[in-house]
A = this chain, B = another copy of it.
């Protein structure tokens, strides 16, 4: 019963939701939206509704299973809206809901950050890997 962490104390103090708590539903939501397919998917829907096959083309390398699975999860969470047009063949469109739209700026920011800083990260990886190699036998004179 005794609170061990600041987070737990904060919860008892009355703060509604805190993603630092393992039991908080926010944690599950954070887990869901912290997903590479989610970020790509929401970004892909930024310009307007898209068909299933259109999304599949736009997001290169996504399997049908993951696309369907991710879309279902986002639909259940109220972030995207699925509309079926009973034509032949059937046409399925996906669009952002207002709730999904409110997340879009964040998802866009993530994707933009990745594209803008990939070179710095690549450089950091090179440096780290070189350092690790040198560390193995201490060729640094000694």
Partner pick for A124 among B60, B78, B115, B129, CB 8 A cutoff: B78
Interchain CB contact (< 8 A) of A117 among B57, B99, B117: B99
List of B residues within 8 angstroms of A110 by Cβ:
30, 33-34, 106, 110
Residue A65 lies at the interface, judged by CB distance under 8 Å to chain B: no
Bound CA span A44–B134, Å: 31
Residue A138 is within 8 A (CB to CB) of chain B in the complex: no
Query: Could you say how many copies of this chain the assembly holds?
Result: 2
How many interface residues does chain A have, given as a range?
A: 35 or more
Query: Known: A29-B118, A33-B110, A34-B34. Is A40-B58 also a contact (CB below 8 A)?
Result: no
**A36: which of B34, B105, B121, B129 is its contact (CB, 8 Å)?**
B34
Q: Which A residues between 2 and 34 are near B, CB-CB below 8 angstroms?
A: 4-8, 16-23, 25-27, 29-31, 33-34
Q: 9 A–B contact pairs at CB < 8 A?
A: A8-B60, A20-B60, A22-B61, A25-B122, A29-B114, A34-B110, A78-B121, A103-B113, A110-B110
10 tightest CB-CB pairs across the interface, nearest first?
A78-B124, A22-B61, A22-B60, A31-B36, A76-B128, A30-B114, A34-B36, A29-B114, A17-B115, A106-B109
